[in-house]
Structure 1
Amino acid sequence: MTTLPEQVETAVQVRYFAGARAAAGVPEETVRLAGPATVSDVIAAVLELHGDGLSKVLPACSFLLDGVAVRDRLAEVPAEATLDVLPPFAGG
């Protein structure tokens, strides 16, 4: 009997703030990706979901992965992680 390898899925809670929230049209959502995923994979998935509006905002955004600033977009995203999308904020 042959057994198939178990399908690995990475579920990531994506939270949008300020202009990113307006562009996405939702405050947060769960993004599911097949296999291990990187921050870049999650970004590509949300761009596919939300299109042009979000594509204009994301280049200026910074990201927090489980509360830690993301410097390397090729960083692996653990299952059940939270990715915060933060556009530049005015004020101080």
Structure 2
Amino acid sequence: MATLRFFAGAAEAARAETATVDASTIGELRTELGVRYGSEFMRVLGLCSLLVNGARASDDAVTLAPTDTVDVLPPFAGG
């Protein structure tokens, strides 16, 4: 199972900082997260970047291995 790490607003929406999910692609991951966390989380997820082992994964066809780490990063602001 891939390990997920939620940051900032994504962690608040999921009410968790980490989770595991059994998905073979980013598209399957998004579907599973919608089922698990609901529509408000999906709204937040739509604003987030996904990084698989540190590399941006914007295409739903990106494959996931059980040993992968996926970071869910909302947009950051600052100065």
The TM-score normalised by the length of structure 2 is 0.91
Kindly indicate which of the two structures has a greater share of residues assigned to strand: 1
* Counterpart selection for 1:60 from 47, 58, 64: 47
Of structures 1 and 2, the larger Rg is shown by 1
For 1:54-80, what per-residue CA distance to the aligned partner results, in whole angstroms no more than 9, with x for missing partners?
A: 011011111100111113221111122
Give ranges in structure 1 of 5+ residues lacking alignment.
Answer: 1-10
- Which residue is 1:18 aligned to? 8
TM-score with structure 1 length normalisation?
Answer: 0.79
Cross-structure match for 1:6: none
Bigger RCO of structures 1 and 2 (CA < 8 A, at least 6 apart) = 2
- Tell me the number of residue pairs that the alignment of Structure 1 and Structure 2 aligns: 79
**What is the CA RMSD across the aligned residues, in angstroms?**
1.1
Q: Structure 2 unaligned runs (5+)?
A: none
